[in-house]
Amino acid sequence: MGKENCSTVTEFVLVGLTDALELRVLLFMLFLLIYGVTVLGNLGMIVLIQVSSRLHTPMYFFLSHLSFVDFYYSTIITPKMLYNILNEDKAISFLGCMAQFYLFCTCVVTEVFLLAVMAYDRFVAICNPLLYMVSMSQKLRMVLVSGCYLCGTVCSLTHLCLALEIPSYRSHVINHFFCDLPPLLSLACSDVTINELLLYIVATFNEVITIVIILTSYLFIVITILRMRSAEGRRKAFSTCASHLTAIVVFHGTILFIYCRPDSGNSVNTDKVASVFYTVVIPMLNPLIYSLRNKDVKEALRKVVGSKIFS
């Protein structure tokens, strides 16, 4: 594409998922339902953890932050996507696009590290239960959570600063339903090799570091569980870890598929489908995974709802 076709842009147009009217109506209803469940599930989980004293433990402290991040980055993406599905005007300002990408990237990286912290929390709880509350003190919990948010902020700021340096684009039409970095870089007229290489390196580094923490934690967890004499103890430990492992596999699998391939920018249509899964579906699934498989959460919810009904 010649330089004469390149220009600065003041706004982008998000193509979305489909132009077929009947599919757009169906997708709108489906994503609206999913978003409603996401908001209700994640905010409900945060409120439940706050009001239920039995959930005032390190595990649920981290889970409340996971729910917040899921709610926040789903809200960054889904309302705009719902608006675009039903409207022909799918424009988003340049600054709006950059802001959406920055906030989204912050939340995703934060969640990557938060899931690793939650794996470490399970390691301490199962492998050293008598000192669990002492080891996972409030100060340590705040340091770990702050570190997750800091990693997310630094990574997203790095990508944002480089993206803002792109002087011109060959098109203002983004073949995606939100402002993600790979489809944005594919429109740049200037050489964005550094941007693409940094995206690949940072995403891979984050994944390797967190997956090593998760695998190491669960290796010791499995060894500890297998040594337990009580069948009930083993069942409870496996049940607690199953929810977390499910969330990890689903989330990390999608991240690895989209961002940890050197040629990820060349398969935008495939990435759009995968992106729907982790930007729209996963934030809905996480509170369901942790509540449906968690006896403490179900009992706390039953107690809170019962007290409201009979008060």
Please report the pLDDT score of residue 277 as a whole number. 85
Domain count across the chain: 1
Query: Is residue 173 domain-resident?
Result: yes
Contacts of 132 (CB under 8 A, 6+ apart): 58, 124, 125
Please report the pLDDT score of residue 307 as a whole number. 62
Geometric angle at alpha carbon 242, from 55 and 224, rounded to 5° = 90
Count of CB atoms within 10 A of residue 189's CB?
18
Q: What is the mean pLDDT of each run of 10 residues along the chain (311 residues)?
A: 72 88 89 96 93 89 95 94 91 95 96 95 91 93 98 96 92 92 90 91 92 93 84 74 81 80 59 84 87 75 67 50
Query: Is residue 293 domain-resident?
Result: yes
Please report the pLDDT score of residue 264 as a whole number. 47
Query: Is residue 60 domain-resident?
Result: yes
Please report the pLDDT score of residue 265 as a whole number. 47
Q: Is 131 exposed, middle or buried (0-12, 13-18, 19+ CB in 10 A)?
A: exposed
Distance CA 140, CA 29 (A): 43
Please report the pLDDT score of residue 17 as a whole number. 86
Query: Is residue 19 domain-resident?
Result: yes
Query: Is residue 233 domain-resident?
Result: yes
Entry pTM: 0.89
Helices H, strands E: what count in the chain? Answer: 11, 3
Residue found by looking up tokens 């989980």 in the block: 45
Please report the pLDDT score of residue 310 as a whole number. 44
Please report the pLDDT score of residue 166 as a whole number. 92
- The domain that holds 207 is classified in CATH as 1.20.1070.10
Query: Is residue 220 domain-resident?
Result: yes
Q: Which of left, alpha, beta for 16 (phi over 0: left; psi -120 to 50: alpha)? A: left
Please report the pLDDT score of residue 263 as a whole number. 59
- Going by C-alpha positions, the residue among 66, 74, 36 that lies closest to residue 294 is 66
Query: Is residue 2 domain-resident?
Result: no
Distance CA 110, CA 149 (A): 5
Q: In degrees rounded to 5, what are phi and psi of residue 190?
A: -80, 170
Query: Is residue 90 domain-resident?
Result: yes
What residue numbers bound the domain in which 135 lies?
8-310
Please report the pLDDT score of residue 60 as a whole number. 92
